[in-house]
Structure 1
Amino acid sequence: MSGHINNICKSANFALRKIGQVRKYLDRASAKKLIHAFVSSRLDCCNSLLCGLPDYEIAKLQLVQNTAARMITLTKKRHSITPVLKELHWLPVCKRITFKISLITYKALHGLAPDYIRELISEYIPSRSLRSGDQFLLTLPKSSTAYGRRSFAAIAPSLWNKLPLFVRLAPSVSIFKSRLKAHLFSSGIN
Structure 2
Amino acid sequence: YKVACMCFSAINGSGPAYLSELLHVYTPSRTLRSSSDTRMLEIQQYKRKTHGFRTFSCFGPHIWNSLPQDLRHCSTLSSFKAKLKTFLFSQYFHPN
Number of the residue aligned with 2:69:
165
Structure 2 portions without partners, runs of 5+:
none
In structure 2, distance between residues paired with 1:111 and 1:134: 21
Larger Rg: 1
Deviation at 1:129, TM superposition (A): 1.2
Higher helix share: 1
What is the correspondence of 1:135-150 to structure 2 with a 5 Å cutoff?
Answer: 135=37, 136-145=39-48, 146-150=50-54
Q: Aligned equivalents of 1:114 and 1:185: distance in 2?
A: 28
1:130 to 28, 32, 38: 32
Q: How does 1:87-102 map to 2 (within 5 A)?
A: 99-102=1-4
Give secondary structure in 2 for the equivalent of 1:137.
Answer: coil
Q: Take 1:185 and 1:126, find their aligned partners in 2: how far apart are those partners?
A: 32
- Give the partner amino acid of 1:125: T
Residue of structure 2 aligned with 1:119, choices 13, 21, 26: 21
Offset from partner CA, 1:73-131 (integer Å, 9 cap, x none): xxxxxxxxxxxxxxxxxxxxxxxxxx000000000000001111000010001111111
Q: Aligned partners of 1:141, 1:186: CA distance in 2, in Å?
A: 29
Q: Which residue of 1 aligns with 2:59?
A: 155
Give the RMSD, CA atoms, in angstroms: 1.3
After TM superposition, what 4+ stretches of structure 1 lie above 6 angstroms from structure 2?
none
Q: Distance in 2 between matches of 1:132 and 1:109?
A: 19
Q: TM-score, normalised by structure 2?
A: 0.91
Count residues in correspondence: 92
SS at match of 1:187: helix
User: Counterparts in 2 of 1:73-84, with a 5 A limit?
Assistant: none
1:108 aligns with 10
Distance in 1 between residues matched to 2:85 and 2:29, nearest whole Å: 33
Taking structure 1 as the reference length, what is the TM-score of the superposition? 0.47
1:188 aligns to what SS in structure 2? helix
Letter paired with 1:187: Q
